[in-house]
Amino acid sequence: MKIKAAILNEMGLERPYWQSKPLSVEEIELDPPAKDEVLVKIHAAGLCHSDLSVIDGNRPRPLPMVLGHEASGEVVECGDTVNDLQKGDHVVFYFLPSCGNCIPCKTGRPALCEPGAQANAEGLLLSGESRLRSRKGHLLSHHMGVSAFAEYAVVSAKSIVKVPGDLPYQISALFGCAVITGVGAIINTAKLRTGQSVLITGLGGVGFAALLGAIAGGASNIIAADVNAQKRDMALSLGANAVINPSNENAVEELKDMTHGGVDISGEFAGVIPALEFAYNCTRRGGITVTAALPHPSREIRISPARLVGEERSLLGSYLGSSIPSRDIPAYIRLYQNGRLPVDKLLTHTLKLEQINEGFERLANGEAIRQVVVL
């Protein structure tokens, strides 16, 4: 079938993106779903830093590629062997399909699925194939098994989860990346306990979701850190107990004074090394630092092993919020419906597909929290 989609043909174009237009909205061909695959009508797709990191070259991927990985939509057609979904179901995508057969999947860690990670790196579906073609018949790459900046998508049935039909698409889309990553990093990876103190560094969509997750999880003292004053103000309005500018010369000492020696859990979501160093240095003895951000693969952090051991610190990575999507996405949606996880407050802009380059320039400038393309 013919669909309209936003294609990235070249990484690293100069900003502003509304001028260089890294994403080209074109008509392409979408092949029908094969075995274990589903055709979904996209209704909403969020703009995320993981998309931006491909656009700016920090996260190289095979091109040309149809970007977009945080989305929601409606099932149109199911391929053979798909029995748990049917036409008309509302679904949320998640950005790493889980095969169910590799060791991580079998041990309850589907966010580390090995075939899923390989398929994502190669720009393919879990089947090892692509369903996207240019008007000239050339194969196009899938982004994280989704490619949501399009009118329709064919995905593995193991890349989507059914959600309530009364949830607005522009809200449900957020649960597939921002919410599952941010909330999961605090709840699943750091294993927040009621009454613990938490620092959230980097207030984008994922960072704000982590802040809301810390509140829902019962943190007693939540400090939010960002160089952007408006985002610090927003953090206070969402329930943070205090805010701090991590670029201040004595920011670490200031934080430790506020928390009597440091926080129990420190989450970093900015994607820059100074932010991760700040987050690590702000934990107390025995504290946990968790990062869900993805700076350029060449960037490295230096830590003292003696301090790591002598103070029993932990530095943990979190991918997909260490989640089991089929369990966690519905659970987080129930929290939202009960008023305990108000992720709708993170939605700052809605766009048309033709406005996507302007949206990514806004994201790169730090002028938005979560923007959603409505299709």
Domain identity same for 17 and 165: yes
Same domain, 6 and 155: yes
**Residue 331 is assigned to a structural domain of this protein:** no
166 plus 216 within the same structural domain: no
Decide: residue 365, CB within 10 A, 0-12 exposed, 13-18 middle, 19+ buried.
exposed
Q: Is 123 exposed, middle or buried (0-12, 13-18, 19+ CB in 10 A)?
A: buried
| Residue keyed to tokens 């190289």 | 60
Quick one: 170 and 191 in the same domain? no
- For the chain, the domain total comes to 2
Per-residue pLDDT tens over the stretch 124-183: 999 999 999 999 999 999 999 999 999 999 999 999 999 999 999 999 999 999 999 999
Residue 328 lies in a domain: no
- Would 325 be classed as within a structural domain? no
Q: Do 292 and 362 sit in the same domain of this protein?
A: no
Whether residue 258 is predicted with pLDDT greater than 90 in this model: the reply is yes
Same domain, 126 and 219: no
- Per DSSP, the residues of 138-174 read -EEEESTTT--SBSEEEEEGGGEEE--TTS-HHHHGG
Identify the domain boundary among 304, 319, 334. 319
Q: Are residues 160 and 212 in the same domain?
A: no
Residue 41 within a domain: yes
Domain containing residue 293: CATH number: 3.40.50.720
Is the same domain home to 101 and 247? no
Say yes or no: 117 and 146 in one domain.
yes
Asked whether residue 296 carries a pLDDT value surpassing 90, the answer given is no
C-alpha distances out from residue 231 to 206, 225, 295, 319, Å = 13, 9, 21, 24
Q: Kindly state whether residues 349 and 250 are assigned to the same domain.
A: no
Phi, psi of 334 (to 5 degrees): -65, -40
List the domain range (segments joined by +) for residue 302.
182-319
- What mean pLDDT comes out for the span 333-348? 98
Peptide bond connecting 22 to the previous residue in cis, omega within 30 degrees of 0: no
Render pLDDT for 44-103 as a digit per residue (tens, 0 to 9): 999 999 999 999 999 999 999 999 999 999 999 999 999 999 999 999 999 999 999 999
Co-location of 156 and 206 in the same domain: no
In a domain, 91, yes or no: yes
Same domain as 129, residue 266? no
The C-alpha R_g of the chain, in whole angstroms, comes to 20
- What percentage of residues in the chain have a pLDDT greater than 70? 100
